[in-house]
Amino acid sequence: MPEFGLNRLRGGGVARQALLRTVFLWLLMPLLWGLAGCAQLPSLPAPHADGGHWSGRLALQVEDQAAQSFSASFELQGSPARGELVLLSPLGNVLARLHWEPGRATLVAGNETQTSDSLDALLRQSTGTHLPITALFDWLNGTLANADGWQADLSSLDQGRLTAIRHTPAPRATLRIALDR
């Protein structure tokens, strides 16, 4: 007859350690998620209503020697001139809030705040790469806009999917967006 519960823990070795580690992680994760949920970022001024609103999931993959990838849920509103991008964890906690207006851009992530006089400069500073924000708004609106080094695929936009690949400058980067329906 198979052993369950505490009887299984009385054995020794690798199986016991793996089970204890799994139980510990399952007990610890809700506690950490709960604590993360208590942390609140200070709110920034709301962008003007002169633009669109999109939400969904995004993933950015940069293919350099130490391949980097990032994914999160997002809420984007505004325009290239004035707007706000909020990145959310799978549980809905705010990971970062990016707000921009003419002459100023602010990124708040955790207890850190970064500011710059332009959105492009702030994004390059925080991500290490150029992201085509102006073109992104066009792409989300279904317009195939040029962005230096980037090629967008809007063929699945009617299904809520957008992919953009940066070929130059190196390293190659892939941005994938899945919009909420």
The predicted model gives 173-180 an average pLDDT of 95
Reported for 99-102, long-range contacts at CB under 8 A and 24+ positions apart, including other chains, are 99/44, 99/45, 99/47, 101/47
Give pLDDT, residue 81.
95
Distance in angstroms (rounded) separating the CA atoms of residues 83 and 76: 8
Give pLDDT, residue 128.
72
Give pLDDT, residue 28.
33
How long is the chain?
181
Q: Determine how β-strand 172-179 pairs with β-strand 161-166.
A: antiparallel
Q: Using one digit for the tens of pLDDT, what is the confidence trace for 48-91?
A: 445 799 999 999 898 887 878 889 999 999 999 999 999 999 99
Q: Say which residue, 3 or 64, is predicted with more confidence.
A: 64
Regarding pTM above 0.75, the answer is no
Q: Using one digit for the tens of pLDDT, what is the confidence trace for 94-146?
A: 999 999 999 999 999 999 999 999 999 998 888 777 788 889 999 999 999 99
- For residue 178, pLDDT beyond 50: yes
Give pLDDT, residue 50.
57
Crossing angle of the two packed helices 133-140 and 119-127, in degrees rounded to 10 = 100
Q: Using one digit for the tens of pLDDT, what is the confidence trace for 7-45?
A: 444 445 544 343 334 333 333 333 333 333 444 433 333
Give pLDDT, residue 179.
97
Give pLDDT, residue 65.
76
- For residue 4, pLDDT beyond 80: no
Give pLDDT, residue 30.
35
